[in-house]
A and B are shown apart, each in its own frame.
Chain A
Amino acid sequence: MVQFYLIPRWFFGYGLALELIFAAITFAVALYALLIYKYSRIRECKLFSLGFFLLSFSYLSWAAVGIYLFGQASSGTEILSIDDVTLVASLGVYGHIALFVLGLVTLTYMTLRKKAMKTFTLIASLSYITIIFSTWKIIAFYFVSSLLLFYVVIYYIGEYAKNRKSTSLFVMLAFIFLFLGTADFAFSAAHHVNYVIGHVLHLIGYASILVSFIETLRPLKYGKKT
């Protein structure tokens, strides 16, 4: 039997709300990146948009599991263990895993700045194979995700060193917090506190992305054109 998460009951509603917030933020950024791609035809914008759309859908899948379990849990339960859930919830969790990994693979591939589908398929297949053939799937999933995010973090540290802009700083910090949060989630199958900490770290990460995103909309606000 594969254990997924240990979730404290008091956090269930908050967790669900946060997942929906993460889905909304990533969806908004993805949509805007797509718009920028339409204007600029920059390949990286298209990949970034695709990566964020996948992350958004992965959070929706996770939230769907939360909604389903919320109705299933008995009132006396203090800590919920998602290891004996029905097929529906398992599909939701696996959907989240598949979409989240593919989203991160797309972002990592974007940071390579190389047009080579072989590279993309290699990273994706290695990531999936590692998770599928692992006994501890949830730990493997977060290990792979952390590794992919680590490379994204390195890329954004380089970008910040180049630009020295406040928005680049927020994006760099965002991916650092997402990396830390994802690494922390690996322990959520062992202790319920890690599930809460992981959400908090991801919240800081996505809040930083939101701040940077709003800042980039400034020319729109002031009607500046060129």
Chain B
Amino acid sequence: MAKKRSRLEVIRDILQVIKDRSGKIKPTHILYKSNLSHQMMEEYLGELISKGFIVEHRAKDVKGKTYSITEKGLTYLSKFSLISEFTESFGLG
């Protein structure tokens, strides 16, 4: 049985999905790729927006919302190993 993902890993996976699309991504794609329930995904997206890791767009030409990754989000991805090692060891995750 696969090990349950930690919060930090879920955040990494969401950011990775958005980054891989190299632009704007719809919430349905995030839902499909991140393997979360709709409610959980909304919670995570809200948290990522408040932390400044992603931004929400509401364009007229695209139906509904889209998301893109910010510099802070990219930094989180590149430093993920350091973050997870430290937070797990010191009980901060």
Contacts and interface: CB of A to CB of B under 8 A. Distances in A.
Interface of A: 32-33, 36, 39-42, 44-45, 48, 110-111, 155-156, 159, 163, 165, 167-168, 170-171, 212, 215-220, 224-226
B83 interface: yes
By Cβ-Cβ distance, the 6 closest A-B pairs, closest first, are: A167-B89, A219-B81, A159-B91, A44-B92, A41-B51, A216-B85
Which secondary structure characterizes the binding site on chain B? helix
Given A36-B83, A220-B82, A225-B80, A165 B88 contact: yes
Nearest to A52: B90
Contacts of B86: 32-33, 36, 45, 216
Interface string B50-72: 01110000000000000000001
Given A45-B92, A168-B88, A216-B89, A39 B81 contact: no
Given A41-B52, A42-B93, A226-B12, A163 B88 contact: yes
A205 B26 CA distance: 49
A33 B78 CA distance: 17
Contacts of B90: 33, 48, 171, 212, 216
B5 interface: no
Contacts, number: 82
Interface residues of B, number: 25
Given A39-B76, A41-B52, A226-B12, A165 B82 contact: no
B81 A168 contact: no
Nearest to A226: B80
B83 A212 contact: no
A40 B83 contact: yes
A226 B83 contact: no
B22 interface: no
B77 interface: yes
Nearest to A110: B92
Contacts of B80: 225-226
Given A33-B86, A41-B53, A44-B87, 16 more contacts: A33-B90, A33-B92, A36-B86, A40-B79, A41-B51, A111-B91, A167-B88, A168-B91, A212-B90, A215-B89, A216-B86, A219-B85, A220-B82, A225-B79, A225-B81, A226-B81
